[in-house]
Amino acid sequence: MILTFGLILSMGYEVLKITSLGSRSLLHIASAIMFMNLNIGIYASYFKKIKRSIIYYLAAAIFIPLLLFLTSSLKAELSLSIIEFAAVCISWLLISPYIGETIKHRVSLIIYLCIVVGNAETDLWQTEKWILIIFDILPVIYYFILLLILIERFITMFQSVVNSSLLDGLTGLYNRKAISTRIKQCVEKGECAIVFTDIDNFKELNDTLGHHAGDAALKTVAEILQEETDDIGFPGRYGGEELIAVIDDKDTISRIEEWAENFRSRVERESNVTLSIGFSIYRYGLTPEKLLEQADLSMYSAKRTGKNKIVEYKDGLDTGSI
């Protein structure tokens, strides 16, 4: 809302400037208000709440010079120039460091200061045409930089929304919905292996060392799984302490037990937990749900027959035998 208002003001300011409908004082006021709204709007696109200090300082930047002007201590144009300069200083100190695009934003502030200087009526600007041309170009550069900042911010926000719908918040792995979609795609392709893993004694770890220790262990295992599936599969968190890898690389599928053992041993060496692992390889006629169920049964078989081991699904391995 603030950003939209700022953009409308900026367009109005440029219309006044081009058509020469407004006095110089009116242009200064419009420029200052436009500048403040745009910069507060940019800040608001990064934070839901605007710091009160920013509002207070901007209010002081407006009212102190105006008060001096009303008491005849300063000339009108000088008062308004102080407002613009103070607004730039406040934006430099209180907005730029916090928006993620500090360098671009500060470059835009410097350009805006140059625009303020260029708006002053002096003989120099009127006699030197090349300087006038530069000052005519500066607003275009200023708005272009602000546009870049906003586009990059909106792209980041869009990516965040997309990632939140696909990724698990704790581990950064793909979530259950994304994993289910990937399994269906692999089954349609005809080349797929599912490796289902469960962290051994995870409840005891949470109960004895606390949930932060459990979360740390889960993140460590997730990082190793992500590294091990790079370019060969799709790592995910299926739920709780259960992680899953959907492997679609033909060469890796042919030696899937070796791959699973390498993953298991890495976790044992590099963390304070062990894994029970089960896997199932796609065979013609299997549905995605059945393939996943087979890997799940294999994992529970590993868990109930000693833990810290790998079990391959074979015909006859069912709930009864587990």
Query: Tell me: the pLDDT tens digits for 149-159?
Result: 888 888 888 87
| 204 found inside a domain | yes
The two tokens of residue 145 are 């930089």
Per-residue pLDDT reduced to its tens digit, 226-237 = 999 998 999 999
Say if residue 159 is in the same domain as residue 302: no
Say if residue 118 is in the same domain as residue 72: yes
Please state whether the predicted TM-score (pTM) of the whole model is above 0.75.
no
| 322 found inside a domain | no
Query: What is the mean predicted confidence (pLDDT) over 191-212?
Result: 92
Say if residue 77 is in the same domain as residue 185: no
- Minimum mean pLDDT among 45-49, 67-71, 77-81, 168-172: which range? 67-71
- pLDDT-derived band at 6, boundaries 50, 70, 90: very low
Number of Cβ within a 10 Å radius of residue 216 = 16
Model confidence at 215: pLDDT above 60: yes
Say if residue 70 is in the same domain as residue 215: no
- Minimum mean pLDDT among 47-56, 208-217, 266-275: which range? 47-56
- Number of domain units in the chain: 2
**pLDDT at residue 86, as a whole number:** 76
178 vs 85 pLDDT, higher one: 178
Q: Which residue has the tokens 């839901």?
A: 48
Q: Which of 253, 249, 241, 194 is nearest to 216 (CA)?
A: 241
Sequence-ordered list of residues with C-beta below 8 angstroms from that of 44, at least 6 positions apart, any chain: 2, 3, 50
Does residue 278 contact residue 298 with C-beta atoms inside 8 Å?
yes
Give the range of the structural domain holding residue 61, as residue numbers without chain letter: 2-166
The two tokens of residue 101 are 């695009």
Say if residue 180 is in the same domain as residue 160: no
Say if residue 181 is in the same domain as residue 90: no
Q: Is 243 left (phi over 0), alpha (psi -120 to 50) or beta?
A: beta
Q: Which residue has the tokens 């934003």?
A: 105
The two tokens of residue 125 are 């600007």
